[in-house]
Amino acid sequence: MRPGVPTTVPHEAAKRAIARRGFDEFRLHTTGYGIAPGFPPSWQENIQMFPNDAHVLEPGMVLSVEPPVFVHPERLGARLVDNVLITETGNLVLSQISRDLIVR
């Protein structure tokens, strides 16, 4: 994710990564969206990482990247969320949480 890249590019990259792991049929809707003030009816910024979105990434944008995978028959799902700032030269992942599996 970097300036000048259409929002469809990270969406397609997430789709490919999920498909490579055999979960494409369980991938749902948007890969993420812009974080900024929104107005009814959506209450969120209209930038979506989704097919056919016309937005292009620009410095200063902050996006929530959260491609969901939900296996309906087993009622299991995951949505790992990262907040990403688009910088002049690329991006900065703002999320700092560990991705290690925690077993208790």
Q: Quick one: 8-93 is in which CATH superfamily?
A: Creatinase/methionine aminopeptidase superfamily (3.90.230.10)
Query: What are 8-52's pLDDT values in tens digits?
Result: 999 999 999 999 998 888 887 788 888 877 667 666 667 888 888
Q: Name the residue among 62, 66, 46, 64 with its Cα closest to residue 54.
A: 46
pLDDT band at 74 (very low <50, low <70, confident <90, very high): confident
Domain ranges of the chain: 8-93
Please give the share of the chain, as a percent, with pLDDT higher than 90. Answer: 41
